[in-house]
Structure 1
Amino acid sequence: MARPTPLSGFPEWLPDGRIVEQHVLDVLRRTFELHGFAGIETRAVEPLDQLLRKGETSKEVYVLRRLHDEADAGADGSDRAGQLGLHFDLTVPFARYVLENAGHLAFPFRRYQIQKVWRGERPQDGRFREFVQADIDVVGAGDLPYHYEVELPLVMADALGALRALGVPPVRILVNNRKVAEGFYRGLGLSDVEAVLRGIDKLDKVGPDAVAELLVAEAGATPAQAAACLELAGVRGDDASVVERVRDLADRHGATTDLLEEGLSELGALLLAAAERAPGVMVADLKIARGLDYYTGSVYETVLVGHEDLGSICSGGRYDTLASDGATTYPGVGLSIGVSRLVSRLLSAGLVRATRSVPSAVLVAVTSEDGRSRSDAVAAALRARGIPVEVAPSAAKFGKQIRHADRRGIPYVWFLGDTDAEGATAPDQVKDIRSGEQVPADATTWAPPEQDLFPRVVPGEPTA
């Protein structure tokens, strides 16, 4: 069989990389649960018409069908009834989950969800077609107080901050508020708010001159209105002075509105709370425009300091109309971490590493195949005490068995005691193959040092 060609966009970590990913997931899960979020899992597929409600193009959704279907109904987009697609995020399936289970949930409902998602886009650095996301959301029935818009990004700051001890770079959470942007644009006299937001969202890619042209051509702005929009997008800061700067800007352009004031009040409260609980982590950035046709209040994007080229590793915001059964609307606020994007950078840049690539702390040597059962018995005794062990694959010379352990990254090799002619058995020995130290050992009492018991994730040696 010829060597298979890798599929781009479908990451498969080596064992040591998988250990790093699992550790990141464990830290996130533990932090979410410390904040009272309950874990759920939803199915991988949803009706296609539901997946497309969020505004994603059909090119990004993988359609699911049987190989031997006689007809590929809806392949041209003309008939989507009954078709299924793989979910491209965890928010749309969560909305359906809330509607289906509302009678069994206590609101506000706090949930976390860690699953794979699929997105049919062009693979590139940190961007995949199959990847793991970790979401947290709080959803209310009928209403949801604003303070959750303050709480959720601070939970994420805690979760990402818990990874700092590993050598993960610090993060900056960039925040904006739809009410600020929409209130300002409408105060200027611009009615096509979505077109303005689409233009501002391209600012980092094409620059201010090109965006100004877009606003004039696509949003119906005058050159003066376009300049005012760009001036708002340039406002950035990590304290409440941002609020006064926007107010001054709105006064100069005659763009003050009640909606703008409401958004500024919310943004100011968020910055004050962040300055107290996570100083230096949260920054107001008035050009953040992600998903603003979908979100209705605060929006968030998160970057790794020193790795801004990777893009946002965590994003989300407030939504008021995601789910409704006609009688009750379920507003919420949530954020999603792109776990695969984060892990890919941690590994490729050498920011973190696993201390070994296998769980085994001990390799039990085999003296002879006839005596393998003795080695198995030692392994069983160690495992019963929570020590991960494997038995040597063959009764080779001890030097070869030690080299096997070294290649696997196993720090200790266990040697069975010899039995003399009178039937007396010498004590077993355990060898630390890193230091060469060898000592007598009893499988019912010996244990490796805590730091050697399981693989650990530690700071790496970053590449240039």
Structure 2
Amino acid sequence: MSKPRPISGFPEWLPPQRMIEQRFLDKIKSVFEVYGYAPLETRAVEPLDQLLRKGETSKEVYVLRRLQEDSSASSPDDSLGLHFDLTVPFARYVLENSGKLNFPFRRYQIQKVWRGERPQEGRYREFVQCDIDVVDRDTLPAHYEAEMPLVIGDALGALPIPPVTIQVNNRKVCEGYYRGLGLGDPEAALRAVDKLDKIGPGRVATLLTETAGATDAQAKAVLALAEISSTDASFADSVRALGVSDPLLDEGLAELVQVVETAAAYAPGLCVADLKIARGLDYYTGTVYETQLAGFERFGSICSGGRYDNLATSGNERFPGVGISIGLTRVLGLLFGADKLAISREVPTCVLVALSDEEHRRAADDIAAALRRRGIPTEVSPTAAKYGKQIRYAERRGIPFVWFPGDPDSIKDIRSGDQAEADPATWSPPAADLHPTIN
């Protein structure tokens, strides 16, 4: 077998990085649950007609098929693909289980997703998303749209990462404004504006004329809206000053004001109204969110989402929702790549029980068991080498303490060299040493 090579876009973290990821996951879960969101996990595959019906995703979906299937015979797997986000599967889940759920239904979902896009720094083909959503039957009050940034602000604020800014907009503002301008294809205009940061205003203006049927004057007016940004509700006055009117525009402005003012009251500086934010997926109908990580803005949003009114709809049943998703793998990849995250040791172990000879391994195992019962991560030395070698084994892994069985036993802090008598039934390490810490 030749030496294996990594597959681009499918990250495999080393154990210290994986421990950091686990700490992040634990903190994110705890914040989600503090806000009353219940855990959920959906299957990895969905019918292709569901995956492809909303937004420009057809080039990104991985299709599921068996290696040796008969190409001449139809197979149920022909119509299945790996999910590219967690919102579409969640909407399907709600429709299938609506009779068993209590509404409004609040859930968090932390799973891997797959997208067949070009891998680059901070962008992967397999990655972990951390989602929260609220859905209700028939109608969903707008105050849930104001809650989303607060949850994410607390979750990301609890992590050892640079500060974040959540950019918010409302699709109704954009669509109402475009209708007021007389544009016939607001969705095409939204898709063009969504590329503003990537291709710049000149090329977006060209796209608006080519795909949305805009005149030069209309394209200029669209870009004028996209330039408006504010940390308070003054953005609404700036929009009205453009002289465009439409009932949907007024509705969107009122909803966006509520989001911005709520965020300002509970988390000052967290949110900014940025009217160039559009989001590329077609299923969004109200507030939309994107999140910038300080110092890493050029890599795009690390957390995004929005309101969707028609995604979970079947016949007369309608379950509008709003959600937001942290791209955890993107966050970690960017920070690992910039050497911004490290952990105090590469193993969970706090104590290494030294071994004088193999005949005393059972006694060493008993000491380790006593410490583990008290929640102290412990392992026994792999070999009965000289104590100096066993200490170096601990040093290489960052294990802070070595336990020496004897009469009496003793524990040594190998960083300071301090050593003292110890009893496995009562000894405890300093709280800072019990588990690895993220630096």
Q: Shared fold by TM > 0.5?
A: yes
> Is contact 1:9–1:129 with CA below 8 Å preserved after alignment?
yes
Displacement after TM superposition at 1:118 (Å): 1.0
Shift of the 80–238 alpha-carbon distance from structure 1 to 2, 3 Å rule, reads farther
Q: How does 1:372-451 map to 2 (within 5 A)?
A: 372-417=361-406, 426-451=407-432
Displacement after TM superposition at 1:346 (Å): 2.0
Shift of the 295–240 alpha-carbon distance from structure 1 to 2, 3 Å rule, reads same
Q: Which residue of 2 aligns with 1:421?
A: none
Residue 3 of structure 1 aligns to a residue whose secondary structure is: coil
- Cα distance in 1 between the residues matched to 2:31 and 2:166: 17
2:196 is aligned with 1:203: yes
> Is contact 2:168–2:289 with CA below 8 Å preserved after alignment?
yes
| Equivalent position amino acid for 2:48 in 1 | L
Displacement after TM superposition at 1:56 (Å): 4.1
Q: Equivalent of 1:172, from 147, 156, 165?
A: 165
Displacement after TM superposition at 1:59 (Å): 2.7
What is the TM-score normalised by the length of structure 1? 0.92
Q: Which residue of 2 aligns with 1:137?
A: 133
| Equivalent position amino acid for 1:395 in 2 | A
- Cα distance in 2 between the residues matched to 1:405 and 1:269: 55
> Is contact 1:173–1:282 with CA below 8 Å preserved after alignment?
yes
- Cα distance in 2 between the residues matched to 1:140 and 1:173: 24
Q: Which residue of 2 aligns with 1:112?
A: 108
- Cα distance in 2 between the residues matched to 1:412 and 1:286: 55
2:264 is aligned with 1:275: yes
Q: Which residue of 2 aligns with 1:27?
A: 27
| Equivalent position amino acid for 1:221 in 2 | A
| Equivalent position amino acid for 1:451 in 2 | A
> Is contact 2:391–2:414 with CA below 8 Å preserved after alignment?
yes
Q: Equivalent of 2:82, from 75, 83, 86?
A: 86
Q: Which residue of 2 aligns with 1:49?
A: 49
Q: Which residue of 2 aligns with 1:103?
A: 99
- Cα distance in 2 between the residues matched to 1:73 and 1:12: 37
Shift of the 73–305 alpha-carbon distance from structure 1 to 2, 3 Å rule, reads farther
Q: How does 1:20-419 map to 2 (within 5 A)?
A: 20-71=20-71, 83-163=79-159, 166=160, 168-249=161-242, 251=243, 255-291=244-280, 293-417=282-406
Residue 393 of structure 1 aligns to a residue whose secondary structure is: coil
- Cα distance in 2 between the residues matched to 1:144 and 1:225: 33
Q: Deviations over 1:300-354 (max 9, x none)?
A: 0001011101210000000000112312100000001101001112222222221
> Is contact 1:137–1:335 with CA below 8 Å preserved after alignment?
yes
Q: Deviations over 1:54-73 (max 9, x none)?
A: 23433311111222211177
| Equivalent position amino acid for 1:440 in 2 | E
Name the % identity. 64
| Equivalent position amino acid for 1:104 in 2 | K
Q: Deviations over 1:240-266 (max 9, x none)?
A: 1100010111x2xxx211111111111
Question: Does 350-359 or 238-247 show the bigger shift?
Answer: 350-359
Quick check: which has more Rg, 1 or 2? 1
- Cα distance in 2 between the residues matched to 1:6 and 1:436: 41
Question: Does 82-91 or 113-122 show the bigger shift?
Answer: 82-91
| Equivalent position amino acid for 1:57 in 2 | T
Question: Does 267-276 or 195-204 show the bigger shift?
Answer: 195-204
Question: Does 268-277 or 201-210 show the bigger shift?
Answer: 201-210
- Cα distance in 2 between the residues matched to 1:378 and 1:53: 60
What is the TM-score normalised by the length of structure 2? 0.97
- Cα distance in 2 between the residues matched to 1:313 and 1:192: 29
Residue 216 of structure 1 aligns to a residue whose secondary structure is: helix
Displacement after TM superposition at 1:393 (Å): 0.7
> Is contact 2:64–2:78 with CA below 8 Å preserved after alignment?
no
- Cα distance in 2 between the residues matched to 1:62 and 1:175: 30
Residue 426 of structure 2 aligns to a residue whose secondary structure is: coil
Residue 172 of structure 2 aligns to a residue whose secondary structure is: helix
Shift of the 238–413 alpha-carbon distance from structure 1 to 2, 3 Å rule, reads same
Q: Deviations over 1:75-115 (max 9, x none)?
A: xxxx9885221111111111111111111110000000000
- Following superposition, which runs of at least 4 residues in structure 1 exceed 3 angstroms of deviation? 79-82
Q: Deviations over 1:256-292 (max 9, x none)?
A: 1111111111111111111111111101111111136
> Is contact 1:412–1:432 with CA below 8 Å preserved after alignment?
yes
Shift of the 292–85 alpha-carbon distance from structure 1 to 2, 3 Å rule, reads closer
> Is contact 1:47–1:82 with CA below 8 Å preserved after alignment?
no
Q: Which residue of 2 aligns with 1:455?
A: 436
Displacement after TM superposition at 1:196 (Å): 1.3
Displacement after TM superposition at 1:213 (Å): 2.1
| Equivalent position amino acid for 2:144 in 1 | Y
**Structure 1 stretches of 5 or more lacking a match?**
418-425, 459-464
Length, aligned pairs only = 439
> Is contact 1:114–1:132 with CA below 8 Å preserved after alignment?
yes
| Equivalent position amino acid for 1:435 in 2 | S
Q: Deviations over 1:210-265 (max 9, x none)?
A: 2222222222212111111111110011111100010111x2xxx21111111111
- Cα distance in 2 between the residues matched to 1:72 and 1:63: 17
Shift of the 60–373 alpha-carbon distance from structure 1 to 2, 3 Å rule, reads same
Displacement after TM superposition at 1:31 (Å): 0.3
